[in-house]
Chains A and B, each alone.
Chain A
Amino acid sequence: MAKKFEKGKMVPVPSTAIIPERDIDKTPILECRHLGIDFGGLRAVDDFNLIIGRTEIAGLIGPNGAGKTTVFNLLTKVYQPTRGTILLDGFDTAGKSTEQINQMGIARTFQNIRLFNNLTVEENVKVGLHNQEPYSALTGVLRLPKYWRQEKASHERALELLSIFNMQDLANTPAGSLPYGAQRRLEIVRALATNPSLLLLDEPAAGMNPSETAELMENIVKIRDTFQIAIMLIEHDMRLVMGICEGICVLNFGRVIAKGTAEEIQANPTVIEAYLGKKKEG
């Protein structure tokens, strides 16, 4: 099933945006045009433009407080944008709620982990499968045949998804008592369970040690290859970003200051300045 993609050449579409060459003849999964939000008088994000290809792994980086998580919150409609449009697979998402956005195909994880702590690992994934194996509340109360069928299907699917991170054995552990790294992985599994076409990961490697991070990198690529979805991630670990992201977008003070491939970003003087500060003249 898994179709491996070589990390390929990037081509510009249109002149300001880049997506992987292999995705060029398909509608981009995400297209943001002049996206912006104000909190009071503060322009937290302004004129944010981005295009993500069907199977791209994209990175969103920037110094602390640059507005990265705000962009995720705008994409998932936790905040309603003040300006601009978001096209998901060519459809306008204006006026949709967070829940509808998920059903349209965006799933996400959170910077500060948000699991259902009193539910088990398996139940957390099953909550993710909520709209995948549906049956009515009445079916559940009366335990009609459909209930047993769907419950069995979601049980199997949940274990299958957990096996991506080798977490099947933890299925019955309460999510709240998992170690930190496992909690982050479970969030990814739960997001995947909703069958997204775009997966947003908010600092997936935060708090992980180098070997865990390396494993995570492999897994992110594996997820993209297996599910053939686009992944966008916010991360401070530059080895991870530069290692797996194809297109990278750099945000500072709510504005995009650079876009390009890893090599281009690393050589970009504006980016270096944003991270390290301006070199003193003279």
Chain B
Amino acid sequence: MKNLSSSSKKARADYFTYAGVTIAFIVITLLRNAGSLNRSQQGLLVPICCYIVMAVSLNLTVGILGELSLGHAGFMSVGAFSGITAAMSLANIIPSTALRLAIAMVVGAVCAAIVGFLVGIPVLRLRGDYLAIVTLAFGEILKELITCLIVGYDSNGLHVIFNVNGSKTASDLNLLEGGRIIIKGAQGATGTQTIASFTAGFILIMITLLIVQNLVRSRTGRAIMAIRDNRIAAESVGINITKYKMIAFVTSAALAGAAGALFGLNYSNLTAAKFDFNTSILVLVFVVLGGLGNIWGSIIATVVLYILPEALRGFATYRMLIYAIVLILVMLTTNSPQMKLLLQKLLPKRKEEEING
């Protein structure tokens, strides 16, 4: 009976996460309807949802599978631009923005999954820091490849030019009258209809949580965590290492792709340069500070760290400096043995003082 209680404890943690996200969504929606959120605060809602999905999905690779990925933004980028292309191409055919947004996210997820699979073939053969540097390399490659894309749509369908030496422009698409340019190479996607919504973001988070948490609590998740803890032992009990690494990696990429599509459809202008190495690192920081393998932690860390620089806007010039210092101090206090000792010494003292005072 003791055993059942433990597995139900884990299940409770999962339900707690769903409940927490739902309550947050309801509270924010109420605040918004009551007009308590200003424009810039409202503008943060969709990106926060996207980054939560990014962090939770990266946690699958870094925390659950245990492989350091430094190119997660690349998948987001693939999802964003394929999602934008899908949504813009379907603009005349499907009038419902909600349906188009859903299709765009699915397209983004599928494209990112395919790219994730292709990237995974070489990447997952490597280990440790070598794997990390290669994911970084892929992230940069994806960014540059997308920068070379010129995409347009007209009644004949999609037109795509791959602009290798920078000599081509959007006019080379030879679009028919009424056609529209969707992606203009280095200028990125311009004139995108911003159909992303906070509700869609909430739904995407819930789906992501469902996929990641259920995966972790299943046979597949156990296999993935077994690989993380001890690859050789996992092999020795008959687990196909490549298959399960790939499942984790592709799932993570697909979710990042869906988040990318939502993110892309939240801005009328978007360049591939937005999804560079720094974005990958930003998401990695969310994951590490939230706790490896800790899904709820990823969500909280994302929200806090995404809002922190915005909240520090008052100190505009110093805000990134403060952010950097906070980051270093948090890492030092949570990981250094001396700091832990120091904290232990300080904390009980304060309690005593409270009692005495």
Whether the pair B222, A123 counts as a contact (CB closer than 8 A) is yes
Whether the pair B237, A127 counts as a contact (CB closer than 8 A) is yes
Chain A CB within 8 A of B285 CB: no
List CB contacts (< 8 Å) of A127-167 with chain B: 127-128, 130-131, 133-135, 137, 139-143, 147, 150-151, 154-155, 159
Chain B CB within 8 A of A35 CB: no
Whether the pair B234, A108 counts as a contact (CB closer than 8 A) is no
Chain A CB within 8 A of B226 CB: yes
Chain A nearest CB, measured from B251 CB (Å): 8
Chain B nearest CB, measured from A222 CB (Å): 21
List CB contacts (< 8 Å) of B218-241 with chain A: 218-223, 225-226, 228-230, 232-241
Give Cα distance in the complex from A221 to B311, angstroms: 67
Q: Which residue of A lies closest to B244 (CB)?
A: A137
Whether the pair A119, B219 counts as a contact (CB closer than 8 A) is no
Chain B CB within 8 A of A261 CB: no
Give Cα distance in the complex from A97 to B240, angstroms: 9
Chain A CB within 8 A of B210 CB: yes
* Interface residues of B, dominant DSSP: helix
Chain A CB within 8 A of B2 CB: yes
Whether the pair A140, B223 counts as a contact (CB closer than 8 A) is no
Whether the pair A140, B214 counts as a contact (CB closer than 8 A) is yes
Whether the pair A126, B236 counts as a contact (CB closer than 8 A) is no
Chain B CB within 8 A of A191 CB: yes
Whether the pair A137, B247 counts as a contact (CB closer than 8 A) is yes
Q: A114-B230, A127-B222, A137-B220 are in contact. Are A99 and B210 (CB under 8 A)?
A: no
Interfacial chain B residues near A107, Cβ < 8 Å: 236-237
Whether the pair B237, A193 counts as a contact (CB closer than 8 A) is yes
Chain A nearest CB, measured from B294 CB (Å): 12
Give Cα distance in the complex from A116 to B236, angstroms: 12
Q: A99-B241, A190-B237 are in contact. Are A130 and B223 (CB under 8 A)?
A: yes
Whether the pair A122, B234 counts as a contact (CB closer than 8 A) is no
Chain A CB within 8 A of B3 CB: yes
Chain A CB within 8 A of B44 CB: no
Interfacial chain B residues near A194, Cβ < 8 Å: 237-238
Chain A CB within 8 A of B211 CB: yes
Interfacial chain A residues near B211, Cβ < 8 Å: 141
Whether the pair B238, A102 counts as a contact (CB closer than 8 A) is yes
Chain A CB within 8 A of B344 CB: no
Chain B CB within 8 A of A66 CB: no
Chain A nearest CB, measured from B53 CB (Å): 16
Interfacial chain A residues near B218, Cβ < 8 Å: 135, 137, 139-141, 147, 151
Give Cα distance in the complex from A151 to B3, angstroms: 13
Please classify how large the interface on chain A is, using the bins under 10, 10 to 19, 20 to 34, 35 or more: 35 or more
Q: A99-B240, A114-B230, A140-B214 are in contact. Are A119 and B222 (CB under 8 A)?
A: yes
Interfacial chain A residues near B2, Cβ < 8 Å: 169, 171-172
Chain B CB within 8 A of A103 CB: yes
Chain B nearest CB, measured from A131 CB (Å): 5
Q: List 17 A-B contacts (CB under 8 A).
A: A98-B235, A98-B236, A99-B239, A99-B240, A107-B236, A107-B237, A114-B236, A116-B234, A118-B228, A123-B225, A127-B222, A127-B226, A137-B218, A137-B220, A141-B211, A141-B218, A168-B3
Whether the pair B239, A127 counts as a contact (CB closer than 8 A) is yes
Interfacial chain A residues near B215, Cβ < 8 Å: 137, 140-141
Whether the pair B247, A127 counts as a contact (CB closer than 8 A) is no
List CB contacts (< 8 Å) of A208-253 with chain B: none
Give Cα distance in the complex from A107 to B237, angstroms: 7
Whether the pair B226, A76 counts as a contact (CB closer than 8 A) is no
Give Cα distance in the complex from A147 to B3, angstroms: 18
- The 10 A-B residue pairs whose C-beta atoms are closest, nearest first, are A140-B218, A102-B238, A114-B233, A116-B229, A172-B6, A137-B220, A98-B235, A127-B226, A114-B230, A141-B214
Give Cα distance in the complex from A169 to B2, angstroms: 8
Chain B CB within 8 A of A78 CB: yes
Give Cα distance in the complex from A169 to B1, angstroms: 10
Whether the pair B236, A102 counts as a contact (CB closer than 8 A) is yes
Give Cα distance in the complex from A116 to B238, angstroms: 14
Whether the pair B222, A130 counts as a contact (CB closer than 8 A) is yes
Give Cα distance in the complex from A159 to B222, angstroms: 17
Q: Which residue of B lies closest to A124 (CB)?
A: B226
Chain B CB within 8 A of A178 CB: no
Q: Counting chain A CB atoms within 10 Å of each CB, which of B7, B220, B222, B223 scores highest?
A: B222
Give Cα distance in the complex from A103 to B237, angstroms: 8
